[in-house]
Amino acid sequence: MDDRRSIIVGANAADARRLAGQIIATTACEAVGRHGQFTLALAGGTTPRPLYEFLAAPPLSEAIPWQDTQVFFGDERDVPADHADSNFRMAQDALLGSVPIRLENVHPMMGDADDLTLAARRYAEQIIRILPQGPDGRPSFDLIILGMGGDGHTASLFPGSTALDEKAELVACADVPVLSRRRMTFTLPLINAAANVLFLVTGKDKAEAIAKVLSSDPAVAAELPAGRVRPTHGKLLFVLDEDAARQTPYKP
């Protein structure tokens, strides 16, 4: 196994969230100690919300250096920021509205922009302006949090999306074939430039997909979008609960 990849299994979803929260807090403090800020990209979807609520409560709300944290979003749905389906609104309600983060350090995606491709380029420009360059010359997040769907998608990189093959753009307007919708999303080149990528995956409905993503055969893993996340120079961490890990050899 790649020595830059780690798999941790919690006894249940709450335990997995606790483990992930501790890792996030430690990574944040180390980043601020190293270069004065913590650059974080949040995941959307349903799985991260309880994690964000956990981060928003003591002791982690007091352990994370929020005033030195820059928050971006790994993807966004094509809705206004105040819409119930907005990833930004979910994060705002569950986390950002409850911690002392600077307003100017929160960078939502413009999911309802008339020209999503242009909005994606402008979002990438924000990232380039704020983040340090990594070893490959691309901006490098201290931590990107990702979830995974039962179909193996991550961020808004769905099976069959042309955005999976993007090589140049850091942020793209992605087709979501299964939903016949478009979304804004980080691309693999940006994700794989991160110093740390953390997948939080819970539930037995994810078991088959995560078993494939964690396959020892890279070709098998790469059949799913989440299996193509392989940081070039950074660390890759999977935090699972026992239900998600049931088809893998990994145990709590």
Rg (CA), the chain: 17
**pLDDT, position 179:** 65
Classify 230 in phi/psi space as left (phi over 0), alpha (psi -120 to 50) or beta: beta
Q: For tokens 């941790």, what's the residue?
A: 8
Order of strands across the sheet that contains 171-176: 75-76, 181-186, 171-176
3-state helix, strand, coil in the chain (%, to 5): 35, 20, 40
**pLDDT, position 177:** 66
Q: What is the pLDDT of residues 168-188, one digit of tens each?
A: 999 999 877 666 678 999 999
Q: What is the pLDDT of residues 7-25, one digit of tens each?
A: 999 999 999 999 999 999 9
Q: Are 210 and 248 in contact (CB under 8 A)?
A: yes
DSSP state of 12: S
Mean pLDDT of the region 67-80: 96
CATH of domain 22-187: 3.40.50.1360
Domain map (residue ranges) of the chain: 22-187
Q: What is the pLDDT of residues 220-248, one digit of tens each?
A: 999 999 999 999 999 999 999 999 999 99
